[in-house]
Amino acid sequence: MKNGFADSIRRTFAIARNTVLEAIRNRAFLGMGIAAFGLVVSSIALSSLAVRDQAERVLVDFGLAATSLMEIVIAITMGVILVFKEIDRKTFYLVLPKPIRRSEVIAGKFVGLLGVLGASLLLMAAGWLISLQVKGISIPAGVPQALLLVWAQAALITSVAIFFSSFASPVLSGVFTFGVFMVGSSVTVLQELMQARKGMLATPGPARLIAEGAVAVFPDLSVFNVGKELILRIPVTWEYVGASMLYCGFYCLFFLAIGALVFQRRDFS
């Protein structure tokens, strides 16, 4: 076929567009987004921390952490039901016989969810920054970089969720994905424990072996967390952001490719 790649992109975006539409028209999702927005704004606006310096630290850190966590929640919940719902509701019977590859369907779902994550990220970030302004706290310089990294982390978790959901039930996929998130967030802690002089992971043994395996296999999510730098007003360079995005892209490709491979072989009966 001529223009094979352009066609592939076109089909992927057709699915992505529909995925965004689905999220926008989903009342539960909209409600969740608005609730999260309200929570961030109100908790910051209403906080009455006494010490000026402490308030600044907490509000900067809290806002970013809350935004990041909301993104993870959206990534996991939507990521695990995205494919399942289409199978469960049998809407795939109409889509898959069309001239489209199953890998394009998976990629389209992923891209669509990236859009949803991006939009909700902007919304929550707006709430966060506005409330910082209201409190008279100057906005740290590295905010765009920090938000981009939050988005990248959510993308990575989305790909993990899609990977698991290609063969496991939504609940199991959710649990597994959350597990990956937890381990991935603790990779640096594990490394520190292994380098410590004392403790379970410091000496050779099964626990250390497992920890070593985890460090080697799981994505290190601390890469995407620059809250500390933000508070300490340490600049986050675009080179760092670029490298982190590459790191993220590598893992996304890996998980999506396996997910698509499993999906490809699946019977829809």
Q: Residues in the site for another protein, rule: CB under 8 A? A: 1, 7, 10-11, 13-15, 17-18, 21-22, 25-26, 89-101, 265, 267-269
Smallest gap from Cβ 11 to another protein, in A, equals: 5
Smallest gap from Cβ 25 to another protein, in A, equals: 4
Using the minimum distance from each CB to another protein, give the nearer residue, 33 or 142.
33
Smallest gap from Cβ 26 to another protein, in A, equals: 7
Q: Of 165, 206, 156, whose CA–CA distance to 185 is shortest?
A: 156
**Is the CB of residue 204 less than 8 Å from the CB of residue 194?**
no
Smallest gap from Cβ 75 to another protein, in A, equals: 21
**Is the CB of residue 44 less than 8 Å from the CB of residue 135?**
yes
Using the minimum distance from each CB to another protein, give the nearer residue, 9 or 194.
9
Q: Is 76 helix (H, G, I), strand (E, B) or coil?
A: helix
Smallest gap from Cβ 88 to another protein, in A, equals: 9
**Is the CB of residue 135 less than 8 Å from the CB of residue 55?**
yes
Give 268's contacts (C-beta < 8 A, 6+ positions apart): 87, 92, 93, 96
Residue 188 amino acid letter: T
Using the minimum distance from each CB to another protein, give the nearer residue, 197 or 265.
265
Give 58's contacts (C-beta < 8 A, 6+ positions apart): 47, 49
Using the minimum distance from each CB to another protein, give the nearer residue, 21 or 209.
21
Using the minimum distance from each CB to another protein, give the nearer residue, 10 or 233.
10
Instruction: Tell me the C-alpha to C-alpha distance, in Å, between residue 18 and each of 30, 110, 161.
Output: 16, 11, 19
